[in-house]
Amino acid sequence: MRNVIAQNQEWIDQTWAKLEHKLSKVTVKSRNKLPYTTIDGVHDDKSEDYVTWWTNGFWGGLNWLMYLGTGNEEYKKTAERSEELLDGAFSIYTQLNHDVGFMWHLVSGANYRITGNPSSCTRNLFAAASLFARYNLDGEYIRAWNGGDERAGYSIIDCLMNLSLLYWASEEIGDDRFKKIAISHMNMALRDHIRPDGSVNHIVNHEIEKVGVKEVLAGQGYAADSCWSRGLAWAVYGCMISYIHVGKEEYLEAAKRTANYFIEHCKKTDYLPVVDFGAPEEPVLYDSTAGVCTACGLLELAKYVSKEDAQMYTQEAINILKACDERFCNYEDDEDALVLMGTVRYPKNEIAWKEVHIPIIYGDFFFVEAMLKLKGNEFFIW
């Protein structure tokens, strides 16, 4: 892994310097916001009208990572402010869903692990308890979203990323019950979401009173049997998260299988991932966020494989990040976002087309996380 990094050291240092230059200003400017995207170059603010929105932890998490990478207290102040703003979400319980890991583990979980702040530990434990409570005992899955019976059987591949919150809670309180639920959900994903060729199902609708699959749904992808690239990214990194916390070989094997599928398909478009690897070739619709999330998963994967494979996965992560840097990143002061060209879902209606090729906060988060890993920082935020 180090050889490939050494060969790319100049690019890594230059890219970090550029992003740090930009973010040192944006962190102050957007301190009192929970940004999701930008409008005319300016961060929007979900703390105003949607404090329970699932992406509200990424800005705080990004600022903790920048603090670790620079020691600059301005990032710490913004991360702490994010945590205060997020407190409003705890009082709207019915809007909380499976994404409480994204929301709190990256902010309160990071704060507690970095500073030892006991209030942050309490917040993260509350979030873990709410995720724990979504487990369907008979169907053996963590239920996605809220709503009526029509969604009661849904599990989604994205949720693998939230399992880190449960692993942390068990490690923190010395009680395996959270971890056991995370493992059960992960095993379900191996069986019902991850296909033999390494591609994934986004939504699986389960039987709710016994273990079983009723149907597979397209979700944010092109079709039920295609492969939504960000869903695949959640699988690559999600399998690694479970492998790191549990150490089961099947999880590492699934991480490799999904990673290889991603790499094989992403290469075809010069390492700029399209929204769905099984969609028609035209129109060409990119999703930068799928690439940067996968790059983080590949850099973790590289730590647990043979030397030869480690070089290969590190090089592929760098290929994705370089393509993103060259084609999708904006380092200018008149745009608050760093990574442009994210896409929420494969567009099938007018509203969805408005969320094609836009900046999305988790694109910035994963780009920063990947660059920090390449700089040799060992903190594992998940």
Eight-class DSSP state of 214: E
Distances, alpha carbon 227 to alpha carbons 74, 125, 208, 273, 337, in Å: 40, 34, 25, 12, 27
Contact 206, 129 (CB under 8 A): no
Q: At what angle do helices 163-173 and 118-132 cross, to 10 degrees?
A: 120
- Give yes or no for residue 276 binding ligand GLY (CB under 6 A): no
- The burial class, CB within 10 Å (0-12 / 13-18 / 19+), for 270 is exposed
Q: What residues from 66 to 125 belong to the interface with ligand GLY (CB under 6 A)?
A: none
If binding means CB under 6 A, how many residues of this protein chain bind ligand GLY?
Answer: 4
Choice between 239 and 344, CB closer to ligand GLY: 344
Choice between 55 and 242, CB closer to ligand GLY: 55
- What is the smallest separation between the CB atom of 200 and ligand GLY, expressed in angstroms? 12
- What is the smallest separation between the CB atom of 231 and ligand GLY, expressed in angstroms? 7
Distances, alpha carbon 37 to alpha carbons 93, 180, 320, in Å: 24, 36, 22
Q: Which amino acid is at 38?
A: T
- Give yes or no for residue 158 binding ligand GLY (CB under 6 A): yes
E-only strand ranges, 81-185: 135-136, 141-142, 154-156
Choice between 258 and 314, CB closer to ligand GLY: 258
Q: Which residue is nearest to ligand GLY (CB)?
A: 158
- What is the smallest separation between the CB atom of 362 and ligand GLY, expressed in angstroms? 8
Helix, strand or coil for residue 313?
A: helix
Contact 293, 230 (CB under 8 A): yes
Choice between 27 and 55, CB closer to ligand GLY: 55
Q: How far apart are CA 119 and CA 226, in angstroms?
A: 43
Q: At what angle do helices 177-192 and 249-267 cross, to 10 degrees?
A: 50
Choice between 63 and 229, CB closer to ligand GLY: 229
Q: How far apart are CA 367 and CA 293, in angstroms?
A: 8
- What is the smallest separation between the CB atom of 158 and ligand GLY, expressed in angstroms? 4
Choice between 75 and 102, CB closer to ligand GLY: 102
Choice between 158 and 276, CB closer to ligand GLY: 158
Q: Residue 18: which H helix or E strand, with range?
A: helix 9-29
Nearest to 328 by CA among 360, 350, 296, 373: 360
Q: What residues from 180 to 209 belong to the interface with ligand GLY (CB under 6 A)?
A: none
Residues with Cβ within 8 Å of residue 332, at least 6 apart in sequence: 22
- What is the smallest separation between the CB atom of 281 and ligand GLY, expressed in angstroms? 23
Residue with tokens 């169907």: 139
Choice between 97 and 319, CB closer to ligand GLY: 97
- What is the smallest separation between the CB atom of 100 and ligand GLY, expressed in angstroms? 12
- What is the smallest separation between the CB atom of 153 and ligand GLY, expressed in angstroms? 18
Q: How far apart are CA 26 and CA 28, in angstroms?
A: 5
Choice between 123 and 230, CB closer to ligand GLY: 230
- What is the smallest separation between the CB atom of 18 and ligand GLY, expressed in angstroms? 26
- What is the smallest separation between the CB atom of 262 and ligand GLY, expressed in angstroms? 15
Radius of gyration of the chain (CA): 19
- What is the smallest separation between the CB atom of 287 and ligand GLY, expressed in angstroms? 9
Sketch the per residue contact string, 228 through 257, with ligand GLY: x for CB under 6 A, - otherwise: --x---------------------------
- Give yes or no for residue 325 binding ligand GLY (CB under 6 A): no
* End-to-end Cα spacing for the chain: 21
Choice between 58 and 67, CB closer to ligand GLY: 58
Interface ranges with ligand GLY (CB under 6 A):
158, 220, 230, 344
